[in-house]
Structure 1
């Protein structure tokens, strides 16, 4: 039953994004973004998640590339679903991609999109769980400390050039308490936003995690349709 529902949901999302991509190419969603660069530092003694990549305490910071974007591309004065894509670069030359969008933080609001006008006090959640040997794992991020940030991307760039954005990353069971495990320090990157920058959590998952079959059935068709065979 769950597989059937996932197939129906995935097909509906694929149709919607395929149609949207015809009129908004190459990015039907999250059309404009701010590219960020920085480092992720793991928090020592963090609660275990069951995913090796999260639980391995790294001695050195990890280089990251990120992109903050507005989902539909509405004017800055209006609330929109904000997206935060983060690429964690590994010492082996590979990387892991994480896609987050503004959601609630409790249960069940962590499974629901929540339009926001600005990243200020926003919660960015994974919406769908990762699979670990210990069970499903959700991920979320939020700025720390709470800081007033502009909604307009140009103004946001200027603000982050003056003071970087500190973002804490958390994990939790689907109905459980959030546990911090890493902190990002992000600044505007030298490179400008372009369609060539793509994040693919399916092709570049978190090491030590897998995906539930029903999650793939829901997510993959829409990702592929939205990106025309690539990802955000």
Structure 2
């Protein structure tokens, strides 16, 4: 059964890669998330008692400077809703880590269903694919707790509305169907030196500190990321 599951997962990963390859003919630089907004800020993991996730880094208080990118996954025209992506990069002990979140539902099976959104400030972002902890699978999610108002992911409108203010999101972890537990905050501002970034965020090459990766998630993700890197 394990061999059969691995085969199905590998097939699915190859199928996703084939789709990426086709889109890349039209969008050679970025098959998905073609247009984004560059952000910078801090990610703070709370001090004090809280329900542990089983990922030591996540369960330990601390602060990281971050670079982030908010983007429209499908690249639909700005007037339409889209699946929104929030990629966050930071350095921990001289190693890059990338955390990728996308708009989903907040509860139950909805956490595994991508949703079209117009307003980043009203959206729930989650990792969808779980991290491997000492106690089992862990999801990460983010939701806005402070913003100047609506934040449509039309780059020009977003930059105009956010201006010099901050966008603050509350960070949570949970088991796949369990209750969310707050573990910190992510505070973002517009980057001053560029409208977008050429950086590619890759959770396969740059995993979360002290978190493991399930083989099935890697089999699903790696072929598509290899295509995005230009190696597939």
Whether TM-score is above 0.5 comes out as yes
Q: Does 1:53 align with 2:57?
A: yes
Distance 2:188 2:131 in 1: 24
Corresponding residue for 2:137? 136
Greater alpha carbon shift after TM alignment, 213-222 vs 70-79 = 70-79
Q: For residue 110 of structure 1, give the secondary structure of its aligned residue in structure 2.
A: helix
Q: Does 1:67 align with 2:69?
A: yes
2:87 to 85, 88, 92: 85
Give 1:169 deviation, angstroms: 1.3
Q: For residue 11 of structure 1, give the secondary structure of its aligned residue in structure 2.
A: helix
Structure 1 unaligned blocks of 5 or more:
none
Matching of residues 164-183 of structure 1 within 5 Å:
164-183=166-185
1:220 to 203, 222, 229: 222
1:154 to 153, 156, 160: 156
Distance 1:102 1:167 in 2: 13
Q: Once the two structures are superposed, what CA deviation does each residue of 1:16-35 show, in whole Å capped at 9, x if it has no partner?
A: 00111111110010001000
How many matched pairs? 227
Q: Once the two structures are superposed, what CA deviation does each residue of 1:94-144 show, in whole Å capped at 9, x if it has no partner?
A: 221101111111111111110111213101111111111110011111111
CA contact (8 A) 2:10 2:220 kept: yes
Give 1:209 deviation, angstroms: 1.0
Distance 1:15 1:117 in 2: 28
CA contact (8 A) 2:39 2:69 kept: yes
Distance 1:5 1:29 in 2: 24
Greater alpha carbon shift after TM alignment, 147-156 vs 46-55 = 147-156
Give 1:8 deviation, angstroms: 1.8
Q: Give the 3 Å change call, closer, same or farther, for CA 87–190 of structure 1 in structure 2.
A: same
Q: For residue 203 of structure 2, give the secondary structure of its aligned residue in structure 1.
A: coil
TM-score by structure 2 length? Answer: 0.92
RMSD: 1.7
Distance 1:82 1:74 in 2: 11
CA contact (8 A) 2:69 2:197 kept: no
1:196 to 194, 198, 214: 198
Distance 2:185 2:135 in 1: 23
CA contact (8 A) 1:33 1:68 kept: yes
TM-score by structure 1 length? Answer: 0.92
Q: Once the two structures are superposed, what CA deviation does each residue of 1:166-222 show, in whole Å capped at 9, x if it has no partner?
A: 011111101101111110110001232556311111111111111111111111111
Corresponding residue for 1:96? 97
Q: For residue 20 of structure 2, give the secondary structure of its aligned residue in structure 1.
A: helix
